[in-house]
Amino acid sequence: MNSDGILEVEKRKKKRNFKPVYIVAGIIGTVLCIQGSIIYYTVSKYNMKIYPEVWVGDINIGGKTKEEAEEAIIAKHNTLIAEKIINVKIKDKSYSIDTSKLDMKYDYDRVIDEAFKLGRTNNIFKKYSYIKSPEKIDFKLNHTYNLTEVDSTIKKIESENNSSPVDASISKSSSGDFIIKAEEYGYQLDSKKLEEDIKTKLDNIEQEQNLVVQANLKQIDPKVKEIDLKNINSKISSFTTSFKSSDENRSTNISVASNAINGKLLMPGDIFSFNDIVGERSTDRGYKVSKGIVNGKLVDDVGGGVCQVSTTLYNAAIRANMPSVQRYQHSLRSTYVELGMDATVAYGVLDYKFKNTLQYPVYIESVIQNKNITFNIYSNSSFNDRKYDLINEVAGDKVKVFKVTYENGKQVSKELLYTDKIKKVNG
């Protein structure tokens, strides 16, 4: 065979060998086109739908449009909200909170938007994979609520259950015996904890099976208790001054101020303020115009004579071993007490204060009889082991005032309290 014949045979063989390749390529191309069509068709079906196996709680929103998903969620969750009642228990009372009044709102839009976007940023093949081989993905709804109804309920609980403590009190009977009225404990709602407990129920409103909240009342102790007042059992000091020379107005002023102090109780550590207890000296409060010392002169003054009350009380308090916190001498010498033993007051300007430094409560009694004013200080009988007195020593235009302490009738100490300058005689 010549060379031309051989060449022709080779060409025919090559043509026969190319036919299977074309067939295979065609088949593959057809399969790919079909598969691509399937992928495209499958993915395109979800263009407006959420991919499969996307859940919100126990609701499968996969394959639903946004609108369908929202309807399914609202139908389930709004019904749950509307049916919930939270009961608050306190003592033998119960208060209910209807959750339908709390304007509870779920963040449907956020969840549905996030669910819809899932997988959409990927290429078409990954999208197809999301659809054909989905893994369950669960979204959690969050919800908001208005606490106005809750706050209103808590305020109602407070108004119906809170109570203020009442101190034990002490008074003297006409026979001279002490009468003690026991204390009462107060109670206060722990409103902060109650609100937190209610919010916990609301935050987990769908899962909560027990919607009962137990409110707590905190006990508030009174400052003064009966057991404390029982320690008052003896007079520990007394002091009297006379106002026999006083006119009717001055006598009235002494009586009004004295009555304001009568029965005053001081617990250990308490500070007595004459101006705070007696108050402003005004005609509305029963005070009259009488002579009083103002800036070194005797002038007509509403409440004139009240300084005799503060001075008498001062002497009784010192003799009960209760020190002064504030004490001022008169600008004129007082005739109803010895030199250096006065304590003047002027409302809003000068005050007389002393502190109960004793370990037991103190009861102050004022008595007016036959134009004499007396202050009696009562406390525990153990203080009677010691007695206290004031003495003065005059030197020129100065007077030194000492507190003298006696134990079993014998002087055991003499303490200088202060030195006053002697003023000219009153009137």
pLDDT score of 92 more than 70: yes
More confident residue, 141 or 307: 307
140 vs 106: CA distance, rounded Å: 10
The torsion angle over the Cα atoms of residues 69, 70, 71 and 73, rounded to 10 degrees, is 90
228 burial (CB, 10 Å; 0-12 / 13-18 / 19+) is buried
Top-ranked range on mean pLDDT: pick from 16-30, 43-57, 84-98: 84-98
How much is the pTM? 0.71
Q: What SS3 state is found at 87? A: strand
Q: What is the CA radius of gyration of the chain?
A: 47
pLDDT score of 427 more than 50: no
408 burial (CB, 10 Å; 0-12 / 13-18 / 19+) is exposed
pLDDT score of 235 more than 60: yes
Encode pLDDT of 186-203 as tens digits. Answer: 999 999 999 999 999 998
The whole-number pLDDT of residue 382 equals 95
411 vs 408: CA distance, rounded Å: 8
Q: Which run of H or E residues covers position 350?
A: none
Encode pLDDT of 348-400 as tens digits. Answer: 999 999 999 999 999 999 999 999 999 999 999 999 999 999 999 999 999 99
The whole-number pLDDT of residue 295 equals 63
Report the 10 Å Cβ neighbour count for 116. Answer: 20
Average pLDDT over residues 211-228: 95
| pLDDT range class, residue 131, cuts 50, 70, 90 | confident
45 vs 237: CA distance, rounded Å: 102
